[in-house]
Amino acid sequence: MDQTPTDSPLAVLQSYLQQRIPQSRLEVIALPQAPEIRLHLINSDYPRNGLNREQVEALMDNPPYWAFCWASGQVLARLILDNPQWVNNKTVVDFGAGSGVVGIAAKMAGAHRVILCDLDTQALAVAQLNATLCEVEVELSASLDEILALNLQNSLVTVADVFYDRDNLPLLATLEQHFSAVLVADSRLKGQALPGMAIIANHSSHTVPDLDESVEFNRVAVYKSL
């Protein structure tokens, strides 16, 4: 049966988003710091006030993070585009992919294979739409364990905004064990050390659309495994 506009992946995501945030929508936006990349993101003028208590609580419990390009993702995407030797001819796994921005940048920079990994089915759906929009081919996975079982060679894993939660640190050791290189970007670590990692860059950025976050969250530290 032919797919109609109302049941297309984009329409389904639009409907989901509007249920969470009334009068919101997904629109195509070129990233300010990486204009080569265009993503389906929430409209910049989405209603930020007037949500009822239930809507606010639902957003706090399960925010549609895939509808934004976060500062760390934008910085990491820009760095990969500017340093294609990091990913050229490699397999790149974008862990916690969200909008897919980092994996898309890796494929644009010459990665042989890109796997976008996220537990959220909406994130994987929008990441696929974004990859198609940017005319790159990617694979999708909801299971890091399945990816690790592949024993990938000549591989790089990218991770943005995960290790500020120190409970996630055991994961870092697992990634360092299974991948040839680990690349981390985080706007909330504030330069704190990560085991086996060295800070290779610090950049200012912002979420797209801009959430007017505190300046302290606009400084992104980028780490690379030693």
Residue 179's pLDDT is what?
97
Residue, of 143 and 44, whose pLDDT is higher: 143
Q: Residue 213 — pLDDT band, cuts 50, 70, 90?
A: confident
CA atoms within 13 A on the CB side of 67: 22
> How far is it, in rounded angstroms, from Cα 83 to Cα 77?
10
pTM above 0.85, yes or no: yes
Burial class (CB in 10 A: 0-12, 13-18, 19+), 177: exposed
Residue 54's pLDDT is what?
77
Residue 91's pLDDT is what?
98
Q: Residue 183 — pLDDT band, cuts 50, 70, 90?
A: very high
Residue listed under structure tokens 């990560």: 194
Residue 159's pLDDT is what?
97
Contacts of 30 (CB under 8 A, 6+ apart): 37, 38
Q: Residue 10 — pLDDT band, cuts 50, 70, 90?
A: very high
Residue 216's pLDDT is what?
76
In angstroms, how far is the first alpha carbon of the chain from the final one?
52
Domain chopping of the chain, boundaries: 5-67, 71-225
Reported as a single tens digit per residue, the pLDDT across 109-157 is 999 999 999 999 999 999 999 999 999 999 999 999 999 999 999 999 9
| Highest averaged pLDDT of the listed ranges 132-141, 162-171, 215-224 | 132-141
For the chain, percent of residues with pLDDT exceeding 70:
95
Q: Does position 73 have pLDDT exceeding 60, yes or no? A: yes
> Mean pLDDT of all residues in the chain?
92
Do the beta carbons of residue 23 and residue 94 sit within 8 Å? no
Q: Residue 48 — pLDDT band, cuts 50, 70, 90?
A: confident
> Which range is least confidently modeled, 139-143, 211-215, 218-222?
211-215
CATH fold for the domain made of 71-225: Rossmann fold (3.40.50)
Which residues lie across from 182 on neighbouring strands?
157
Phi and psi angles of residue 10, each rounded to the nearest 5 degrees, phi first: -65, -45
